[in-house]
């Protein structure tokens, strides 16, 4: 059992983390803007802090975070642009202000556009028409790399509210895409690679439940995921579906 703090526990991913963490017997704290949105059966079993990451100071965050073994941040969204960057900056600064021994192991969230497409180091955020949307992921990643904290960065594709597939079946990667890219595709310039990107994304559309399970299954400070980006993909041959991503990516391509 660990003492965990979940930030953004009322969202689609955060609620999955909360549910699974309670089932695993963790001692939980939730930092949320609206405690009333927490399920009554959960709120009665956890400590609840009401607060908004957009207004809490790093010092205030440090007071709330201190005393926990692990932190899972599910708050913020890449579509918020600079506000998302500011949120992560404030949170990381708060963590860094704690003595090193008191800093929790941290999970943050990005997206598959931050993963290296192959060993060349090219990322989705480097591709034409994607950079303008997903640049906050890159800025947040650079901020984490400058931090001495014990972080991991989950980079799934679009997530869906579907039954868990199971971590033992998923493809899991560190820093690069969890699906192979052909040699021909790797040689394509950015604009021509966009249709390949769009075609491959459905292999990386994963359930919220599996994303939550991966973070909760990797809360050991010395494990292989420390200070890495972590990718998730469906079993080989399986493709997921999330309509708004498909439409957006096709239009970009």
* pLDDT one-digit tens code per residue, 170-183: 999 999 999 999 99
- Say what the pLDDT of residue 248 is: 40
| Domain hosting residue 90, numbered range | 3-252
Is the per-residue pLDDT at 62 higher than 60?
Answer: yes
pLDDT > 70 in the chain, percent = 95
DSSP 77-93: -GGGTHHHHHHHHHHHH
Domain count, the chain: 1
Mean pLDDT is lowest, of 5-9, 73-77, 225-229, 246-250, for 246-250
pLDDT tens by residue, 185-205: 999 999 999 999 999 999 999
Task: State the pLDDT at residue 244.
Answer: 52
- C-alpha torsion sign, points 12, 169, 153, 18: positive
Mean pLDDT of 159-169: 97
95-154: pLDDT as tens digits: 999 999 999 999 999 999 999 998 889 999 999 999 999 999 999 999 999 999 999 999
pTM: 0.93
Residue 246 scores a pLDDT above 80: no
Provide the mean pLDDT of the chain. 93
Here the CATH number for the domain that contains residue 50 is 3.40.50.720
Say whether 25 sits in a helix, a strand or coil: coil
Q: pLDDT value at position 252?
A: 30
CA distances from 84 to 8, 63, 64, 91, 190 (A): 13, 21, 20, 11, 26
């Amino acid at each position: 059992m660990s003492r965990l703090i979940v930030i953004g526990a009322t969202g689609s991913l955060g609620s999955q983390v909360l549910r699974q963490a309670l089932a695993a017997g963790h001692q939980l704290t939730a930092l949320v803007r609206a405690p009333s949105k927490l399920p009554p059966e959960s709120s009665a079993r956890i400590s609840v802090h009401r607060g908004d990451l957009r207004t809490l100071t790093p010092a205030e965050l440090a007071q709330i975070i201190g005393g926990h073994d692990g932190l899972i941040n599910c708050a913020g969204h890449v579509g918020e642009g600079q506000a998302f960057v500011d949120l992560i900056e404030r949170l990381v600064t708060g963590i860094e202000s704690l003595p090193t021994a008191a800093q929790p192991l941290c999970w943050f969230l990005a997206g598959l556009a931050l993963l290296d497409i192959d060993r060349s180091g090219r990322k989705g955020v480097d591709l034409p028409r994607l950079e303008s949307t997903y640049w906050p992921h890159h800025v947040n990643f650079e901020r984490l790399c400058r931090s001495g904290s014990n972080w991991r960065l989950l980079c799934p594709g679009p997530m869906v509210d579907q039954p868990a597939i199971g971590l033992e079946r998923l493809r899991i990667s560190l820093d690069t895409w969890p699906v192979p890219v052909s040699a021909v595709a790797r040689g394509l310039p950015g604009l021509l690679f966009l249709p390949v990107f769009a075609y491959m994304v459905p292999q990386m559309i994963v359930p919220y439940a599996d994303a939550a399970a991966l973070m909760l299954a990797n809360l050991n400070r010395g494990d292989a995921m420390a200070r890495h980006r972590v990718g998730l993909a469906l079993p080989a041959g399986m493709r997921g579906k999330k309509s708004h991503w498909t439409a957006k990516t096709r239009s970009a391509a």
